Amino acid sequence: MIVNYATSKSGAERIVADIVAAGGKAATIQGDFSKPDDISRVYAEIKSTHGRLDVLVNNAGVYAYGPIEEVTVEEYRRQFDLNVLGLLLSTKEAISLFGPEGGSIINIGSGAGKMPPPYSSIYCGTKGALDSITVSLSKELGGRRYG
């Protein structure tokens, strides 16, 4: 198992220690999934080290709540670059490493995509997009064989 992290190496190492203590094998790889070059580098390392991928869990995400008056282009891009574009690019890279049996993709969403609270317009937009992307990709990729 590969545990990716953007900034919290110690957190990722704790997860790896738990997996190893339970009898599994795991390692960490650093990469900020809001940055396309980092995504490509992480998957190149996975390919070089492991050759293939069986399961992808898209769990990276950021949020910031605030009133509409505080919305900025920078905050919009920060959240959409990771929560939406990062998910798409990660999925694109992952499917290139699935074998002939295929693989599984798990996208971690939020209730905020369907029942948005106030002061969360950007974040809720990313989670609504994630919900739609998940349905679309399930229809696109569901019957494919890889390898």
The rounded distance, in Å, linking the Cα atoms of 26 and 45 is 14
Nearest to 86 by CA among 24, 142, 6, 19: 6
Predicted pLDDT of residue 146 = 63
* CA-wise closest residue to 45 among 58, 29, 61, 25: 29
Asked if residue 3 lies in contact with residue 15, where contact means CB atoms within 8 angstroms, the answer is yes
Question: Active-site residue among 43, 76, 119, 123?
Answer: 123
Annotated active-site residue 123? The verdict is: yes
Ranges of H-type helices in the chain: 9-21, 36-50, 73-80, 87-95, 121-141
Can you give the pLDDT of all 147 residues of the chain as single tens digits? 999 999 999 999 999 999 999 999 999 999 999 999 999 999 999 999 999 999 999 999 999 999 999 999 999 999 999 999 999 999 999 999 998 888 999 999 998 888 999 999 999 999 999 999 999 999 999 887 665
Per-residue confidence (pLDDT) for residue 104, from 0 to 100: 94
**pLDDT on residue 147:** 52
Predicted local distance difference test score (pLDDT) of residue 85: 98
* Topology of the domain covering 53-141: Rossmann fold (3.40.50)
pLDDT at position 101: 85
